[in-house]
């Protein structure tokens, strides 16, 4: 298991060697079920403010994303959903002027703490984007293997096993097992998105952030991903940004509603959609604005 805590005080080389052992030990036998139940990890945001220069796009957010659950983040366009999830895996700081105030914890490890390795954070907290973005010149296999090769954490048969397992976990194995060396771009849009999910799973993350992962997909491909999310929560904590309220209602356990950078309300999905506490939530989920 890779945790930020494991690597925070080590050099990258030492961390990679240490990480190789649990990954190797977890390599699947062919008969292994695609989804292995695993104790999940919690992400906590404490008084989180996320800035573009002087502009705060996320303001004073306190929330804990529970382990082995899917939390949907809903809210109108521009309310800060994307900015919030990009802060969680430290991508936001890549934007010029981008910075945060407050705290983000993976279990009890502050991911912006001194000595925390950003690469380790991004391995532990994976991300899937709105548009499928496979590496266009690479094969199906190489796309999934890319992260493992980059860090040298798996080779040979072990690498094959991890790639195959990630493809099983992403619900793509049956469709691609006979053509792993074919270009990733030969896949349909929905398959490419599941390939990106396999790529995220291959490095065995603790948390997967999904930023509108179905918005470029047709309804059938969308349903396939939604089914997959329900399986995946057995092994990772999932944060799902979606503008699609039906999707949030269908797949999430918990829903968080944001407005103008603030977290208005968070609760069990059923409650948020049927009996929310805040009038603004009620107006949003009943389609009165958005
Ligand atoms: P959402 O995901 O809910 O649509 P975003 O997180 O994309 O919202 O945007 C939140 C706010 O941050 C918006 O006001 C948007 O204009 C602003 N914003 C987003 N990206 C940038 C950027 N790269 N530079 C400056 N402001 C940005």
Residue 114 CA, distance from chain mean position: 24
- Dihedral sign, CA of 188, 131, 142, 172? negative
Query: Sign of torsion, CA 13 42 122 184?
Result: positive
Per-residue pLDDT of 169-213, as tens digits, reads: 999 999 999 999 999 999 999 999 999 999 999 999 999 999 999
pLDDT in tens, 229-267: 999 999 899 999 999 999 999 999 999 999 999 999 999
Predicted TM-score (pTM) of the model is 0.87
What domains appear along the chain, each with residue ranges and CATH number?
4-27+66-85+117-285 (3.40.50.300)
Q: Which is nearest to 210 in space by CA: 229, 230, 189?
A: 229
Nearest CA to ligand 1 atom 21: 52
pLDDT at 240: 98
Q: Is the shortest distance between the CB of 56 and ligand 1 below 6 Å? A: no
**Ligand 1 center from residue 53 Cα (angstroms):** 12
Task: Tell which one of 48, 52, 263 to mutate to probe ligand 1, the residue whose CB is within 8 A of the most ligand atoms.
Answer: 52
Give 262 Cα–ligand 1 centroid separation in angstroms: 13
* Dist CA 229 CA 241 (whole Å): 13
- Whether residue 73 has its Cβ less than 6 Å from ligand 1: no
CA pair distance 100, 169, nearest whole angstrom? 33
The predicted structure's pLDDT at residue 214: 95
Distance CA 240, CA 212 (A): 7
**pLDDT for position 170:** 93
Could you tell me if the CB of 78 is within 6 A of ligand 1? yes
The reported pLDDT for the residue numbered 37 is 59
Q: What is the pLDDT of residue 129?
A: 95
H helices present in 155-212, as ranges: 156-169, 173-176, 189-202
- Contact indicator for 57, 50 with CB cutoff of 8 Å: yes
Mutational pocket test of ligand 1: of 77, 82, 260, the residue with most ligand atoms within 8 Å of the beta carbon: 82
Q: Which atom of ligand 1 is nearest to the CA of 211?
A: 2
Amino acid 15: pLDDT = 38
Task: Please choose, from the candidates 149, 140, 162, the residue with its C-alpha nearest in 3D space to the C-alpha of residue 29.
Answer: 162
Beta carbon of 83 within 6 Å of any ligand 1 atom = yes
pLDDT number for residue 110: 96
10-residue averages of pLDDT along the chain (290 residues): 44 37 32 54 97 98 96 97 97 97 96 93 94 96 93 82 95 96 97 96 94 92 92 94 95 98 98 98 92
DSSP-assigned beta bridge partners for residue 211: 241
- Ligand 1 atom closest to Cα of residue 83: 6
Identify whether the C-beta of residue 15 lies closer than 8 Å to the C-beta of residue 4.
Answer: no
Using N-to-C axis directions, what is the helix angle for 140-151 and 156-169, rounded to 10°?
A: 120
Taking residue 277's Cβ as centre, other Cβ atoms within 10 Å add up to 11
Protein residue with its CA nearest to atom 14 in ligand 1: 78
């Amino acid at each position: 298991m890779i945790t930020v805590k494991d690597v925070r005080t080590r050099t990258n080389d030492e961390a990679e060697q240490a990480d190789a052992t649990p990954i190797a030990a977890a390599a699947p036998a062919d008969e292994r079920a695609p989804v292995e139940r695993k104790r999940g990890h919690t992400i906590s945001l404490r008084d989180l403010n996320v800035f573009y220069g002087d502009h705060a796009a996320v303001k004073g957010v306190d929330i804990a994303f529970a382990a082995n659950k899917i939390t949907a983040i809903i809210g109108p366009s521009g309310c800060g959903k994307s900015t919030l999830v990009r802060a969680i895996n430290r991508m936001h700081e890549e934007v010029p002027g981008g910075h945060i105030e407050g705290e983000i914890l993976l279990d009890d490890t502050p991911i912006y703490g001194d000595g925390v390795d950003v690469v380790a954070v991004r391995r532990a907290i994976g991300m899937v984007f709105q548009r499928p973005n496979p590496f266009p010149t690479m094969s199906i296999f190489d796309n999934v293997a890319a992260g493992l090769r980059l860090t040298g954490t798996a080779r040979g048969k072990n690498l094959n096993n991890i790639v195959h397992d990630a493809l099983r976990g992403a619900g793509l194995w049956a469709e691609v097992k006979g053509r792993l060396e074919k270009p990733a771009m030969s896949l349909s849009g929905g398959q490419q998105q599941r390939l990106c999910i396999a790529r995220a799973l291959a490095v065995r993350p603790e948390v997967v952030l999904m930023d509108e992962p179905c918005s470029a997909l047709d309804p059938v491909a969308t349903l396939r991903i939604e089914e997959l999310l329900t399986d995946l929560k057995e092994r990772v904590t999932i944060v799902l940004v979606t503008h699609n309220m039906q999707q949030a209602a269908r797949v999430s356990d918990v829903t968080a509603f944001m407005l103008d950078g603030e977290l208005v309300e968070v609760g069990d999905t059923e409650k948020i959609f049927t009996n929310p506490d805040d009038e603004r939530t009620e107006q949003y989920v009943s389609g009165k604005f958005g």
